[in-house]
Amino acid sequence: MKPRSLAFAAMLLVSFVAPSSAQQSQRSWFEGGPTPLKYELALVPNVEAGTFTGDVRITINSDAELAAVTMNAIDLNVTRATIDNSQVATSVDAEAQTLTLTPRRALRGGRHTLRIQYNARILDDPYGLFRVQYQDDNGQTRRMIATQFEPADARRMLPLWDQPNRRAVFALTVTHATDQMAVGNMPVARTQRLSGGLSRTTFQDTPAMPSYLLFLAVGDFERITRDVDGVEVGVVVRRGQTARAQYALQAAEQSINYYHEYFGIRYPLPKLDMIGVPGAGGFGAMENWGAILYFDQFLLLDEARSNETDRQRVFSIVAHEIAHQWFGNLVTMNWWDDLWLNEGFASWMAAKAVAARHPDWQPWLSQLADGSADAAALDAREGTHPIVQTVNTIDDANLAFDDITYDKGLAVLRMLEAYVGEEGFRQGVRDYLNAHLYGNARTQDLWTAVQAASGQPVLEIARSYTTQPGFPLLTVQGADCRGRNSDGTIRITQRRFALDEVSRTNELWSIPVVAQRVGGEPVRAVLPPQAQSTIDVGACGTYIVNAGQSAFFRVKYDETNFRRLVEAFPQLDAADQLGLLLDYFAFGRSGDAPMTDFLELADRVPASADPVVITNTAESLVALATYAHGRPSEDAVRAYVRGRLQPYFARVGWDARQGESSNEGKLRATLIGSLAAVGDEAVIAEARRRAATPDAVQAGIRDAVLTVAAANATEAEYEALVQQARSTTDFVEQRRLWDRVAKAQDEALARRSLQMVLGDDITRQLRPTVLSDVAEVHPRLAWDFLVANRAAVEAFLDPLSRLEYPTTIADNSSDPAVADALIQYASNQPEGAQRTAAGIAASIRLKARTVRDAMPAVEQWIARRGAAGRGR
């Protein structure tokens, strides 16, 4: 699953939903008892009425006598139940989300057949069996249905053992309108025409798989296909959208070919569909085996409107979800504790697929600047958790889909691959998969396989990075060519890197390190889990620790080496430039070094630097300008940032050039938004001029230009934009338009946008996005709105986003009062959600502390340099 796009997504009540598993543990529910072997499910949905009937036969096997059979179910109205054709009593525990069948006499050990007939609701939010309403190309209102079950919502469609380590075969039949297409995990086995314009479609049996991977969709679909190395790969989209699906089909082909080569295991099913539905939710896509679900904006591309960011995002998400077909589907984590085995691995494999097929996109640099940096920020403050964590409830499982699971998991995999070598690591991955085909595994199983295949001692490194929270800060000194330090010995002190007092704990790590003198050969070592260590880089001189930036730690240099790195900065490799910038911006926030050290580095980023390095520099400088908001220095800081960014924009200009890289196109769009954010009147004026004829704006900068224009809209322009958003029927464009509406800088217009969140102007599924977009520009206004309208907002949040959505809104603030209010808001939520809220509250207070402690020195530094900076 790809995380929520609100954070990107990234991706997230006790009063929000009916009593749930939030209050009780699931871990030992079904450790014993019968084993489900096969579910034969027949569904008859009534899409217009929002209801369905179900009839399921479940084959189970038990080694022992059974007095009763208990399984998961929620909100299913059971009308009849039998075991081996004998009617049984039924009882429901709504809080535990279970259904119990009790026969007249105990069942002997062996196989038995359960049959349960029931009815239930089709939901209007994207979980369980849900429906989506949209406008077709003729302006007609239509509906389709689809399913979303991860982590534990299959129980809303049928009674079953709804946990990842209870794999079973699924045989699915659905009755539907003849003029609509039904899509499942497997190819259609047969279709029978019925009376009344209905058909009954039966799919081939699935392999044994976890319940959360079961999938069904029915709608007015069209399907395009191609043969990819013997696999029928399809993209299934609403009628009229196949032209926008070609890029995703190409991305799937490139990904599958790469994974066949990497894993040495062929994709095991006869077909792989990618299904696009209009809408939005707490996820971007879901890796159902053989039938991956996407929301349209993460699958479809429009050449007239899509930019380089859109293209890279679609490819990366397609690669991520297809990687799951092996890592997660073919082999599944045993329990949600090891969710990172699914998500971190799929994220890492997606980056490898991008690097193999589109190396010019620099996926490892981009991941370092975005995903790994986000994970590091979360991992250095209150509210973090180990990669391998304890998941006791469904709410815990929902909260586990976070940056630690995805991006820290990816970073640790990359670090260990760099340590043991690519070939040894790949062989370990292959051995792990082959040992657990169609089964379940734990984290330890992966590391054991990698260690055995590579001959490298990875278990201690892996243990220290996956079973404890946080990550190391290495403080290094030596090799400075002065007196007793004239040799190549670097003295290293490790401790946990912390952004707050709660995180200043005593963990130690076993750390693979690559150290390198600038211009010299790399030296590899593994630091033991102790406070003091040394590395010999061969001779004194300027050096980099974590050369190539493949490991997950931060490095603080002694003053002598830091000053030399500042001078050498333009000649460093792009990865090391980026690593220094990220480390020292983080030190400016943590207090480990003054923020002016970051400015010294940023001041040396040349106009010819890699686009990813410039993009990160621009984002950090804009953040500093945000910290200056409301201070006497605000104008001076904004002027300095403009002066630093303008030479980069002069490099790329307004219009795309023949032969430029994809990342240069992304950089252009970033700089337009960044310069406008710090008040560059020329950029704002030109964006507004171009926005007057939107169809003439190049696709690569269209979104950036129109967003800048919307942010600076007059009341009349705002009204025109609202009308356009209301009248647009295409959901992807509708989403873009409402995003722009919500970015208005004028507070009065922002208040109008918030009021529309409560009405029918905005599609239900987009209302959370609009509120979060307003929060980016007006954080306190949006937070107060959420608090004042809590029940109304929570009513249109799905389970995957309900627990974390308040933190998404609050995290835009630097007001400690909002941090306090967030803690109060979450006080009646489950314990896991309270931990998440505490972490975001810590982040808010950190911003306030950065403004208080770091900005005075920043302001003095800028005053000395002058508003234009050095303009390198």
Residues annotated within the binding site for substrate are 150, 284-288, 802
3-state class of 611 per DSSP? helix
CA diameter of the chain: 94
d(CA 282, CA 398): 10
Count each helix (H run) and each strand (E run) in the chain, helices first.
Answer: 29, 30
d(CA 657, CA 515): 38
The residues facing 700 across adjacent strands are none
Residue 12: closest CA among 23, 1, 28: 1
How far apart, in Å, do the first and last CA atoms of the chain sit? 42
Residue 405: closest CA among 352, 458, 328: 328
Amino acid making up residue 309: T
d(CA 301, CA 248): 8
Task: Return the ∠ at Cα 777 (arms to 317 and 746), rounded to 5°.
Answer: 135
**Kind of pairing, strands 2-3 and 141-148?**
unpaired
Task: Return the ∠ at Cα 623 (arms to 617 and 628), rounded to 5°.
Answer: 130
45: which 2 tokens? 């949905």
Residue 212: closest CA among 100, 328, 117, 347: 328
Residue 577: closest CA among 614, 607, 552: 614
Q: What are phi and psi of 373, to 5 degrees?
A: -65, -40
Residues with Cβ within 8 Å of 378's Cβ and at least 6 positions away in sequence, in order, are 384, 402, 403, 404, 839
Query: Is 303 one of the catalytic residues?
Result: no
d(CA 95, CA 92): 9
Residues with Cβ within 8 Å of 816's Cβ and at least 6 positions away in sequence, in order, are 844, 845, 848
Would you say 388 and 413 are in contact if contact means Cβ atoms under 8 Å apart?
Answer: no
Binding site as annotated, residues for Zn(2+): 320, 324, 343
Amino acid making up residue 37: L
d(CA 795, CA 859): 45
Q: What are phi and psi of 577, to 5 degrees?
A: -60, -50
d(CA 826, CA 14): 9
d(CA 555, CA 764): 46
d(CA 189, CA 201): 8
DSSP 8-state assignment for residue 407: I
Residue 345: closest CA among 437, 225, 426: 426
678: which 2 tokens? 């710090």
- Residue 859 to residues 593, 618, 628, Cα–Cα distance (Å): 16, 18, 9
Would you say 511 and 496 are in contact if contact means Cβ atoms under 8 Å apart?
Answer: no
Q: Among the options 308, 321, 417, 859, which is catalytic?
A: 321
* Residues belonging to the chain: 872
- Residue 648 to residues 258, 365, 613, 645, 664, Cα–Cα distance (Å): 35, 18, 11, 5, 11
Residue 830: Cβ within 10 Å count: 22
Would you say 708 and 740 are in contact if contact means Cβ atoms under 8 Å apart?
Answer: no
Catalytic residue set:
321
